[in-house]
Amino acid sequence: MAISSASAFRVDSGEVTLAGHVAGPEGKPTIVLIHGYPDDSTVWDGVVADLARDHRVITYDVRGAGLSGAPSSGRGYHLGRLMADLASVLDAEAPTGKVHLVGHDWGSIQGWQALVDPRTRVRIASYTSISGPSLDLAFSAIRQRVKDEKLAALPPLLGQLLKSWYILAFHLPVLAPTLWRAGIARLWPRILKLTDGIETEAHPGQLRDGVNGINLYRANFRERMFGPKTPTIEQPVQLLVPTQDPFVSPAIFDNLSDHVPLLTREDVRTGHWLPLTDPALIADRVRRFVTHVETGADCAALAQGRRRAARHRRGAGPFAGQLALVTGAGSGIGRATALALAAKGADVIATDIDLDAAERTATLARLVGVEASARRLDVADAAAMDAFAQWVDETLGAVDIVVNNAGIGLAGDFLDTSAEDWKRVLDVNLWGVIHGSRLFGQRMVARKMRGHIVNVASAAAFMPARGLSAYATTKSAVLMMSTCLRAELADKGIGVSAICPGLIDTGITDRTTFVGVTAEEQARKRTSASRLYARRALTADSVAADIVKAIEGDRPVAMVGIEAVAGHLLGRLSPALLRRLAGADLMPK
């Protein structure tokens, strides 16, 4: 589609004439969008329609594509010629001041080059890169990795080579153009539908664009592969990294902050053709970044993006740059989990009903070099949870990992358990998990980010026992809710795991409420239960280790402790026997 309010222009650049459009009001910050292969500038139409409301937006067809002319030979697609084209467009349509550059695919490769080319670098205020690396920095990083890691570098490099199979094909003399003429051009809309779910129409120039654009690869890759430079890029750069890109591995952008000091990074769960699938997302991120560069206004998301960029390094922990929220983090499983995630590189938000305890956890987390904050939080309070989620948005940014751990113990006969007892245990053990999963799951989906939600249940979820009717009911509900939620969020790239610990020595028994007894009897039962759990000698660290494994392996359920494993197995093999065992009076005396 065409942007109806845009004005067309044509610019001569050497032997070719470039065609483009300008949209949006005069006097506003100027944004230049460069398309990739095998697209033309119409790939940006959705983005332009959004950004042109409050920015001046320039798009143009690169040489050989769309309505622009094509050079007479393949060497005419060299990056040097492409930079001359960009300079010509800027001279004609943005002769004064600096512009904000945005590039996708081969447009992104051009954008990286524009940051260092003497004809363009002083004219660029900021750059947003989508699905296209700097050829110099990418090949330089590959050479350095092979030098440092020798054979260990081969598996990840082979992974990227498999994604980049088409580059080799494009260098074969006859194959690629023949395939385009044989049917790829005609089938291109169907290919986009199959790979990214994109509904689009074929356009008459698709064959020409596809065949001409092959020269982009032939004219540039060999030179950069065998003689890459390692420039330092001074302009602010924003990386939008599609994690489902079949052509570009996210790892190719690791360590980039060594050469780009003003770098921010956001990984988004999308495929390669982000301008077509998610134009509103691009417009939002570009608008926010341009505002930051123009006015200095910062926000939590950009600050988090800078932290993520700095932490994305080879050899960093698996959660480096991620933000983990742990409820009930003041002690026991919560504290152990917060520290285990911090040790793997995650920044941590430790929450607890006891702020001092949460502060101690945050202090311990900082000792391993991550950022950590503490917050008092009653997970049973829906309004407080909603306000907390807003505070996280505005102060810290997007949460990647949520561990809904906060819980309370309640034991005693069903008939002695009051309505108030039931309300409290349901509010904390079940509603607390619901609030955390819902509020932060919604945000993960809205941001198109990968994430993981961990809900701490219990072996009591599938092991009935007299005296645990209320507690077991809440934990069984948590397990079932987690299983259902996992099914709902699977296609959105968000994992959900339920953790079912057995007898864990965490101190929860010291705070368990025993109903239907005197204060003296409750104290005695707490002491007896604590001794039993201590003799079992299974610690919170064991649960934390299994939580980390569940996140890394995207495990649906993790049983912790032989009693949990045995109880789950028994429930499958002989439910009747499990019910008979439930009648045994195992409550502390």
Taking each helix axis as running N to C, give the angle between helix 106-114 and helix 79-93, from 0 to 180 degrees, rounded to the nearest 10. 80
DSSP secondary structure, 518-547, as one string? -HHHHHHHHHHHHHHHHHHT-BHHHHHHHH
pLDDT, average across residues 493-510: 88
- Work out the pLDDT band at 529, boundaries 50, 70, 90: confident
**What's the mean pLDDT in 212-231?**
90
Residue 44, SS3 per DSSP = helix
pLDDT over threshold 90, residue 470: yes
pLDDT surpassing 90 at residue 390: yes
Q: Which pLDDT score, from 0 to 100, does residue 2 have? A: 46
Average pLDDT for residues 472-500, to the nearest whole number?
97
Residue 502: enclosing H or E segment and its boundaries? none
Q: What is the DSSP string of 118-151?
A: TTTGGGEEEEEEES---HHHHHHHHHHHHHHHGG
pLDDT single digits (tens) 232-260: 999 999 999 999 998 988 888 988 999 99
60 is catalytic: no
- Which residues of 248-370 form beta strands (DSSP E)? 263-268, 323-326, 347-352
pLDDT digits (tens, 9 = 90+) for 146-199: 777 766 666 766 776 777 778 888 888 888 899 999 989 989 999 898 888 898
Does residue 467 surpass a pLDDT of 80? yes
Q: Tell me the average pLDDT across 289-304.
A: 96
Tell me how far apart the alpha carbons of residues 471 and 412 are, in angstroms, rounded to a whole number. Answer: 10
* Structure-model confidence comparison of residues 117 and 466, the more confident one: 117
Q: What percent of the chain has pLDDT over 90?
A: 72
Phi then psi for residue 574, to 5 deg, are -150, 80
Contact by Cβ (8 Å): 449, 268:
yes
Residue 245's closest CA among 201, 209, 281, 275?
Answer: 275
Of 49, 541, 493, 142, residue with least CA distance to 343: 541
Q: CA 145, 149, 151, 156 torsion: positive or negative?
A: negative
Query: Is residue 296 over pLDDT 90?
Result: yes
Q: What is the CA radius of gyration of the chain?
A: 29
Q: What is the mean pLDDT of the chain?
A: 92
pLDDT digits (tens, 9 = 90+) for 416-465: 999 999 999 999 999 999 999 999 999 999 999 999 999 999 999 999 98
Residue 1 has pLDDT above 50, yes or no: no
How large is the average pLDDT for residues 340-356?
A: 97
- pLDDT digit string, tens, across residues 502-516: 888 777 777 788 888
Q: Which domains does the chain have, with CATH numbers?
A: 7-140+198-311 (3.40.50.1820), 323-583 (3.40.50.720)
Average pLDDT over residues 25-42: 97
The predicted structure's pLDDT at residue 315: 65
Of 37, 127, 217, 471, which is the active-site residue?
A: 471
What are residue 120's phi and psi, to 5 degrees?
Answer: -125, -25
Q: Answer whether residue 543 shows pLDDT above 50.
A: yes
* Cβ neighbour number for residue 533 with a 10 Å cutoff: 19
Q: What is the pLDDT of residues 91-125, one digit of tens each?
A: 999 999 999 999 999 999 999 999 999 999 999 99
**pTM exceeds 0.85 for this model:** yes
Rounded mean pLDDT of 129-137?
95
Q: Could you give the 3-state DSSP secondary structure of residue 14?
A: coil
